[in-house]
Amino acid sequence: MSLALAPLDLSVELEANLPCRKFDPDLWFSDSPTELELAKALCGDCPLRVECLTGAVERAEPWGVWGGEIFERGAVVPRKRPRGRPRKEDVARDAALRVEVEARMAANGLAESRDAVRLAA
């Protein structure tokens, strides 16, 4: 097959505009809660966000930011907590964030109930 007859790969151009391709990949797998929040924010305008999140849910990704959500041990978590015992206000905020994550997952058609996608407590 000659190069002139090879099919045009449009995904190469699309991939160049994806945040996970533009920035350091380690950002999406950081241990730092602040860096993971930055990665989530960068995913916000990604044209493949929903597909990325769907794939990660199906694969039960063990960790990292996928489709604008943080995965830890195969479950979606609202935010990554730093090491040590959480403060009382952090526990309350995590409960509120868990509800927000469930709403976003449902809005993307990924979870009709808690059984469909396991959310970490």
pLDDT tens digits for 91-115? Answer: 777 777 778 777 877 877 775 444 4
Q: Is 79 part of a structural domain of the chain?
A: yes
Does the pLDDT value for residue 7 go beyond 50? no
Q: Is 38 part of a structural domain of the chain?
A: yes
For residue 96, the enclosing domain spans: 13-108
Q: Is 7 part of a structural domain of the chain?
A: no
Residue 76, marked binder = no
Residue 64, marked binder = no
Q: Is 6 part of a structural domain of the chain?
A: no
Please tell me the total count of domains within the chain. Answer: 1
Q: Is 41 part of a structural domain of the chain?
A: yes
Residue 47, marked binder = no
pLDDT greater at residue 4 or residue 105: 105
Q: Is 3 part of a structural domain of the chain?
A: no
- Model pTM score: 0.59
With residues binned 3-state (H G I as helix, E B as strand, rest as coil), the percentages for the chain, rounded to 5, are 50, 10, 40
Separation in Å, CA 57 to CA 20, 28, 39, 110: 18, 16, 18, 8
Residue 46, marked binder = yes
